[in-house]
Amino acid sequence: MVSVATTKSTVLATALATAAIALPSLQFAFAEAAPDQGVVSFKYLHYQDSQIGNGVNVITGASSAGSSSRMGVNAYSMTASVPVAGEWSIGTTFTSDSVSGASPMYHSSNLTKMTDLRRAIDVELTRYFSSGTLSFGTGYSKESDYLSRSYSFQGSLSTEDKNTTFTLGGSLNSDNIFPVTNPNAYYSKKLYSGIFGITRILTKNDIVQFNVGYSNGNGDFSDPYKFYDNRPTRRNNTTILTRWNHHFDWTDGTAKLSYRYYTDTFGIRAHTLEGEYVQPLSNGWTVTPLLRLYSQSEADFYVAVGAVEKADPTQPTPPPADAVYYSEDQRLSAFGAITLGLKVSKSLNQDWLVDLKYEEYEQRGKWSVYGNSDKGLAPFGARSIQVGLSRKL
Amino acid sequence: MNSRMDSFHFRFEALGSGCEVVIGSGSKKNAQSIAGCAIEEVSRIECKYSRYRTDSLVSRINAAAGHDWVECDEETLSLFQYADTLYESSGGLFDITAGVLRHAWDFGNAVVPGQDVLSRQCSLINWQSVERQGNSVRLPVAGMEFDFGGFGKEYAADRAAALVYRKGVRNGYVNLAGDIRVLGPKLDETPWLIGIQDPRHKSRTIASIPLFTGALATSGDYERYFEVDGHRYCHIIHPRSGYPVTYWRSVTVVAPLAITAGSCSTIAMLKEADGLAFLEDSGMGYLAVDHLGEMYCRNTSSGF
């Protein structure tokens, strides 16, 4: 209950704080200052996924049932950011991934061996102003059968007291696929995305963020490497993200909680709940455990294993006769997933930082909060390990 | 390029007490030059607003009381504007014309003034009678005085800190006799631990408040006082009764700006028993010790 006196006092304290802000040159002038140091970092990521159970078979692999390692990715990336003229910064990332393994042609079956190499470069230019920032970025990524380009801009504006920041951004992605299996085919799609966000410092220890994103996609969403795959040529999605970071004075640690809701015109709705706790220890060590829970519904046109009677169980399920759109990509089925991770980092001195991050991912159809899971799919799992090294210049 | 950072401490005397600037920097020379600017800024404010300096702007306005208008610059006008809000927010308790009471209270000789002296001085306290027109100001009655001492030190701490921040410093603080504005955490990203003095034991602290950023200020009955017949007379004087306040031994407030922290702690001292409700409703973190030694505190670590 708020008494009249309380309300009055609070108003008076607010009036005092507001009057103080009106005094000249008491505020720290820059919400976000341009970095005064450059940073170069190098990261190596190893990712390996696997799927266990019946219904997993490999055409050219070693095992025809039981456990099967599928995709393995080794990625190297180098990022450099340098301050320019005090108010600008340029950041560049080079990534080189080698991919090898097997990708299923339908559901989790018919794994085809593949090896590929992806090279990507991103450049971002940021200008720092007294009350905000403006960034422009462009990216280029190439594989043997795939070419992707992106252009983006983002602006942020902070209020006078620097406690609230508004962010507005937009991007264009253009992807082209030249399937190796069909030299005459050409797939392309374009994605226009926009994002609006508000970040607010609530107390010295709490920051909250709210973002809404919308993306409009046109073009070929079908996967040229899969059987029975014909997807709509339009995919629009909306994402709502809320974050809360809280610093605990008694442990000096920070909890980062976030919830994301995703919905798209394929009929997929997804929830992601993530919690991370960053605990600095003595001698430059930091430990960060992570838990991520994910759950999605199936796409409207997903065809489950055995949705239609078929003579041969090793063959793909034919789509229903009246279906216009259909796909047997298990990523479009209803499922839930749990990720457990741990990151350990150590600053060797003021300039060098090393970190090691391990993540274990498990995916099950029955973990979907929407039910209606595809019981024919085997559980899917992945683990990744990342090593990073960075140096301030 | 070597970018190893260190914290450099610079101590100096200003505003009649010991002060300190702490700067995290990659080079001592750079830190020295930045600290020099901060000290210069504090000194500029002291020269302009100290009533102890006969050549200050405040002394000039005070000398013209009852007579002439004095033209003021932008900075001074904005400080008057702030003083106006202080007056309104405190129900008239924080009045920058209350400094005349210091003529009645002689802390050096420890003499309690007579009621007639106090009544006469109190009749000269009246912020609302101050005439302001355009850029000019006038104290209407001879003998009236402005005293910026109630927030000048905190204002100087904020100004100096903002100046240091503009020079690119992100770790350190400015401490003007216990009124502190933090620029950012220590170099290892841990907070500065600010010890709060025990109001009855000069060498002891009663608490340690961690600050990553923001400000902290303390008002207390122990900075300047004298005792007669077991009664303590401190330098924070109620503008209506003319007597020093007695309810709180000390009030520390944590706020985004030093000037806000200092103003709130002084208002709480002046409000005496009602000070606690004021602090509680202000939404800021505080640590208060009453006349019996009882401590009251609220969330000094996330006070804003």
* Tens of pLDDT, residues A274-329: 999 999 888 889 999 999 999 999 999 998 886 666 656 567 778 888 889 999 88
Q: What pLDDT is stored for residue A63 in this prediction?
A: 36
Give the whole-angstrom CA distance, residue A317 versus residue A330.
Answer: 13
Chain B residues with CB-CB distance to A37 below 8 A: 3
Q: What pLDDT is stored for residue A138 in this prediction?
A: 93
Radius of gyration of the CA atoms of chain A, in A: 25
Contact assessment for residue A329 and residue A226, using Cβ atoms and an 8 Å cutoff = yes
Q: How far is A393 from chain B (nearest CA, A)?
A: 7
- B208 near A CB under 8 A: no
Which residue carries 């034991």 as its tokens? B201
H or E segment to which residue B120 belongs: helix B115-122
Q: What pLDDT is stored for residue A30 in this prediction?
A: 42
DSSP state of B31: H
> Scanning every residue of chain A, which has its alpha carbon at the shortest distance from the alpha carbon of B156?
A26
Higher pLDDT, A347 or A52: A347
Chain B residues with CB-CB distance to A1 below 8 A: none
Least confident of A254-258, B36-40, B151-155, B203-207: B203-207
CB-closest option in A18, A19, A350 to B3: A350
Calculate mean pLDDT across residues A130-156: 89
Kindly tell me if the per-residue pLDDT of A232 is higher than 90.
yes
Give the whole-angstrom CA distance, residue A311 versus residue A320.
Answer: 15
DSSP state of A158: E
> Scanning every residue of chain B, which has its alpha carbon at the shortest distance from the alpha carbon of A252?
B190
The residues, any chain, with a CB within 8 Å of residue B233's CB and separated by 6 or more, are: B105, B110, B112, B225, B226, B227, B243, B244
Chain B residues with CB-CB distance to A15 below 8 A: 85, 88-89
Please report, rounded to a whole number, the percentage of residues in chain A having pLDDT higher than 90.
Answer: 37
Nearest residue to B215 (alpha-carbon basis) of B244, B187, B269, B174: B174
> What is the set of domains in chain B, with CATH numbers?
57-146 (1.10.3980.10), 191-304 (3.10.520.10)
The residues, any chain, with a CB within 8 Å of residue A84's CB and separated by 6 or more, are: A90
Q: Which segment, A35-49, A65-79, A91-105, A194-208, is predicted with the most confidence on average?
A: A194-208
What value does the mean pLDDT of chain A take? 82
Q: For residue B186, which amino acid is it?
A: K
Kindly tell me if the per-residue pLDDT of B302 is higher than 60.
no
Chain A residues with CB-CB distance to B179 below 8 A: none
Best probe of the B interface among A204, A207, A285, by most B CBs < 10 A, is A204
Least confident of A31-35, A288-292, B191-195: A31-35
Residue A71 half-sphere exposure toward CB, CA atoms < 13 A? 17
> Scanning every residue of chain B, which has its alpha carbon at the shortest distance from the alpha carbon of A249?
B301
pTM of the full structure: 0.56
Provide the pLDDT confidence category of residue B35 given band limits of 50, 70 and 90: very high
Which residue carries 């059987």 as its tokens? A227
Nearest residue to A239 (alpha-carbon basis) of A219, A214, A216: A214
Give the whole-angstrom CA distance, residue B168 versus residue B166.
Answer: 5
Q: How far is B107 from chain A (nearest CA, A)?
A: 31
Give the whole-angstrom CA distance, residue B252 versus residue B300.
Answer: 9
Higher pLDDT, A11 or A123: A123
Adjacent-strand bridge partners of B247: none
Provide the pLDDT confidence category of residue A25 given band limits of 50, 70 and 90: low
What are the angstrom distances between the C-alpha of A148 and each of A119, A187, B44? 11, 12, 59
Kindly tell me if the per-residue pLDDT of B58 is higher than 60.
yes
